[in-house]
Amino acid sequence: MVRLSPAHGRPPSKDPKRNDTRVKLSDSEWEKLNFCAKQTRMTKTDIIRKGIDMVYQQITKKKE
């Protein structure tokens, strides 16, 4: 009988990222994104997510 070791790797995420999208940016938008990433030491993905949250907050505040 062969014993298999338990699966290794990353533990399951509490908020898995299952969706993806592509975005085309102009040169100036790309430069702004890179600048923000370097200045904040955040990933480009985190900056984009933060931007989504900021716009969402603005929209939902207007409806209240």
pLDDT tens-digit map of 35-62: 999 999 999 999 999 999 999 999 998 7
Closest CA to 36 of 58, 25, 22: 25
Q: Give the pLDDT score at 1.
A: 65
User: What distance in Å separates the CA atoms of residue 26 and residue 15, rounded to the nearest whole number?
Assistant: 31
Q: How far from the centroid of its chain's Cα atoms is residue 42's Cα?
A: 10
pTM for the model stands at 0.74
DSSP string, the chain: -PPPPPP-SPPPPSS-----------HHHHHHHHHHHHHHT--HHHHHHHHHHHHHHHHHHHH-
Q: Give the pLDDT score at 46.
A: 97
